[in-house]
Amino acid sequence: MKQLLTLARRSQIRLCLNQAIRLASSAVAYVSPFTTPATLSPPPPHILPYDNAAETVNSKLKKLENPDSRFLKYASPHPKLASHDHILSAPETRVTTLPNGLRVATESNLSAKTATVGVWIDAGSRFESDSTNGTAHFLEHMLFKGTERRSRRELEEEIENIGGQLNAYTSREHITLYAKVLDTNVNQALDILADVFQNSEFREARINEERNVILREMQEVEGEIQEVVLDHLHATAFQHTPLGRTILGPAENIKSITRVDLQNFIKNHFTAPRTVIAAAGAVKHEEFVEQVKESFTNLSSDSTSTSQLVVEEPANFTGAEVRIINDDLPLAQFAVAFEGASSTDPDSVALMVMQTMLGSWNKSVGGGKHMGSELAQKVAISELAESIMTFNTNYKDTGLFGIYAVAKPDCLDDLAHAITYAVTKLAYQVSEDDVTRARNQLKSSLLLNMNGTTPVAEDIGRQLLTYGRRIPTAELFARIDAVDASTVKYVANKYIYDKDMAISAIGPIQELPDYNWFRRRTYWNRY
C-alpha cells in the first residue's frame, strides 16, 4: 500500500513539473523581447495566481482612468461647478417706496405659519462723535422701555401674550429692531414696532437705570477676548476715524449720555429715506404696505444720506498694531487684517471666495485634516492652533479682510508663518479646483443661512440699506461663478501683495513675530 502511494505521489510531481515547464516556455515565448507583436504567441490557457493579480490591478487602473460618474457626483477630487437652476424659482422680493422716502419690502411665503417684521435704520456707531459715542447702542436699549401708548410692562406682556419674540441690535452702520410672530399677529407686531420706533419715552429714571445695565454689559464684553481683539483691530486699523470707535462707547460717555442726546440722534438719523420696513413669511405685500402707511406717520423726510455723512468723515486705513501682553491668559489670541473692499465694490465677491478658500477650523470639530483649505489642513495636522477664523467685513467705504486665531504660546511662530504663507500664496499660485470648491461652499453657506423668516428679513433690510435693492440669488450666484483663479490672483495682488496690515493681539504673545516680520511676508522674492 505504501509503495502504491509513493508511486502516485511521484507521478503527480512529474505531472506538475511537466506542466510548469510548458507554462514557463510558453510564457517566455509570449513575453520575449526579441519577438515582434505579429509573432507573439497567444496567452496560455492556464493563468497563474500572479497573472490574476496583474489583471485585477489593470482593471482597477482602468476604473481610475475612467471613473464611475456616480463616484464623481459625490466624492470627486476635482470638484465641478454645482448647478443652481432651482433657485430661479425663489420668491420675489417686492419693494414699494412711499412719498416720504420710506421703503417697504416683503418676501411672501403664504404657506409659512410665521413671519418676521422689522425696522432697519441706516445709522450706527460710526455716525457718532467722540463725545456721543455709545448713543446708538444706548438708544437701542431705551426703545423697549415704554412709549406714550404702552408702558414697559404693557409692552412686554403684549409680546408675551401673542407668543412673539422681540429683539434689537446695533452695529457700526445699522440699528435693527424686529419681531417674530405667528401669521395671525403680523399686524399687531407691526403696530408695536411703529409705536416703539416713533413714540418711545425717555424718562430720566429709565435712562439712569439703563446706564448700570450697559456698564454691566460692557464688563461682560471685556471678558470676551475675541470681541476685545476685534475692537482693538478696528481702533488700530481706522485710527482717528468714526469706524475705529467701539459700539458700546467708553464708560465716561455711558455715564453722561442724556435724554437730549438720545432725542438728537433720533432727529438726525431716524429719517424715512434712511429707514427700511421689511417682512418675510406669511405676509401680503399690498396689505402690509397699507398698514405701514397708517402706522409710520411721524418720520422726518430729511434727504441727508449716510453716504454724504461718510464722505465727510471717511474711514482711512492705517497699517499698525496693538499688543496687550497678559500672561494670566492660557492662550494667545490675535487677528491680522488687510484693508478690504467696500460693500458695493465688485471685488467684495472675490474676497468672499478667498475667505472661503482660506477657511475656518476649530479643534473641537473633526475633519480638519481632510478639509479643502490648505491652511486648515496644515493647522490641523501640525496642531498649530486651537481655532482659526477667516473674516471679510464690508462697510460703506472700506472693509477688513483677515484671519483671527487662538493658539498656545509656543505655536505662535509656526502659526504666523502658516497664515502669512497661505494668504500671500493667493497672489501667486491658485488652483482652479480650489476656487471651484470654494464657490460651491460659499453658495451653499449663503443658502443655508437663509433658513427661516428672520434671516430672510434681515437680508432684505441690510441689502436695501447697502445696495438700494435686494440682489436676487441667481444674480449673486452668477457673480460668484464669474470668479476664477485669475480673478483671485488679481484681487489678492490688489489687496494683499506688499500691502500694510493691522494686527491686534492679547495674551501670552511674546513669541508672536513683530509687525515688520508680518509685513515682509506679504510678498515673495523669486528669482
Active site positions, annotated: 140, 210
Helix axis angle for 347-358 and 473-481, nearest 10°, is 70
How far apart are the C-alpha atoms of 328 and 358, rounded to whole Å?
31
Q: How deeply is 393 buried, as exposed, middle or buried, from its count of CB atoms within 10 A (0-12, 13-18, 19+)? A: middle
Beta-bridge partners for 391: 402
Q: DSSP for 268-318?
A: HH-BGGGEEEEEEES--HHHHHHHHHHH--S-B-----HHHHHHHS-----
Rg of the chain over all Cα atoms, to the nearest angstrom: 33
Do 91 and 109 touch, CB atoms closer than 8 A? yes
How many residues are there in the chain?
A: 527
How far apart are the C-alpha atoms of 374 and 433, rounded to whole Å?
12
CA distances from 163 to 166, 180, 182 (A): 10, 9, 8
CA dihedral 208, 209, 213, 219 (to 10 degrees): 50
Do 461 and 282 touch, CB atoms closer than 8 A? no
Do 477 and 85 touch, CB atoms closer than 8 A? no
Specify the DSSP element, H or E, that contains 374.
helix 374-382
Q: What's the gap between Cα 123 and its chain centre?
A: 23
Do 523 and 516 touch, CB atoms closer than 8 A? no
Q: How deeply is 416 buried, as exposed, middle or buried, from its count of CB atoms within 10 A (0-12, 13-18, 19+)? A: buried
CA dihedral 209, 214, 217, 222 (to 10 degrees): -140
Q: DSSP for 213-227?
A: HHHHHHHHHHH-HHH
Among candidate residues 234, 194, 408, 213, the one with its CA nearest the CA of residue 320: 234
Instruction: Say which DSSP state 372 is in.
Output: S
Q: Which CB contacts under 8 angstroms, 24+ apart, belong to 47-50?
A: 48/23
How far apart are the C-alpha atoms of 246 and 254, rounded to whole Å?
12
SS3 93: strand
- Name the E strands within 340-398: 361-362, 387-394
First to last CA, the chain: 87
